[in-house]
Amino acid sequence: MKNNGTELDGITIMEKDKNIAPTIYINSFYDRYREGVSLKAVVSEIIRIYNQNKNSININADYFENYENVRKTIVYKLVNYQKNKKLLEDVPYKRVLDLAVVFYCLIEQRKGVSATALIHNEHLRIWNVTEDEIYNDALKNTPVLLAGSIVPMSKILSEIAGTAPVDNDEKVCEYTGEDILYVLTNSSRVNGAACILYDNLLKKFANDVHSDLYILPSSVHEVIIVPKKNAFDKSELADMVREVNEQGVSQDEILSDNVYEYNRKNGLITM
C-alpha cells in the first residue's frame, strides 16, 4: 500500500546474501502493454530498472535495532490525514491542519535513487523512544538532509523544457519581482511539500515579497507559493487545486484540496 491508501502491484527480486531489494511497481508497465508496447519491451525495461538498482545499497538489519545508528537519518514528510487513516494507525505522526507529519529513515540518497524506510510504532518500541523524540530529531535533520528552496515557476518549466541556463548559485529564496507563481520543494524534489514546516523559509520569502502568502498543495512533492498581494481570489485558487488533483496528479501523490495561508506577522499557516 502506498500513500493515500493506493494499492499497487509490484515485483521484488531478492538475491542470495542480500537483505534488501528494490520493489518495481508494474501497474504503469501493464498500462503501456495495453497501449500496444510489446511484452518483450516491457520486460526489458523492468530488467533494466532492476539491474540499475539492485546493487544500490545493502543493509545489515541489526543496524536498525539501535536508535543511535539511525537518529541522524530520521526525516519527515507530509501526507493527507483523512486519506491515510489506516496507515496512521500503525505509524507515529503529528497532526498539522488537514495533514499528518510522518517519519522515515533516509538511508541513502543519490541522483535518481533513494533508499528509505517508513517508521512504524513497532520501531519506537524496539528503540525505546517516544514520538516526541523522533519528532524533535526529524525537525533538526530534515532541513539539513533535504534543504528547501523557493524558485520561480518559470525556472522550473525552463528546466523541464531544457532551456534553463546553468545556475551554480543556489538560492534558498529566489524572488524575481516579476513572477507570480513560485515552487517550494526540497533538494531531492521528493516529499518536498514538507518544506512548508521549515523554520524561517516561508518567513524569509514573505518578507522578501512584502506580502502574506497563499500555499497551493500541488502534490506531496512540492507546493506552489502565491504572494497574496497579487490579488488572487482564494476560492478560485481552491478550484484550481481541486481540478489539478482530479486530472493531473497521481492518486498516491495528492496532498490536499485545500489552500493554505501564511501570515508573515505571526508566522502561522492556516486553512
Residue boundaries of the structural domains of the chain: 1-57, 59-145, 148-270
- pLDDT at res. 47: 84
User: pLDDT of the chain along its 271 residues, tens only?
Assistant: 567 766 777 887 777 766 666 678 888 888 888 888 898 998 898 888 888 766 666 666 677 889 999 999 999 999 999 999 999 999 999 999 999 999 999 987 665 556 788 999 999 999 999 999 999 999 999 999 999 999 988 777 776 666 555 555 556 666 556 678 899 999 888 999 999 999 999 999 999 999 999 999 999 999 999 999 887 888 899 998 999 888 888 888 999 999 999 999 999 999 9
- pLDDT at res. 18: 65
Please tell me the pTM assigned to this model.
0.81
- pLDDT at res. 175: 58
Which triple of cell numbers denotes residue 201?
523559509
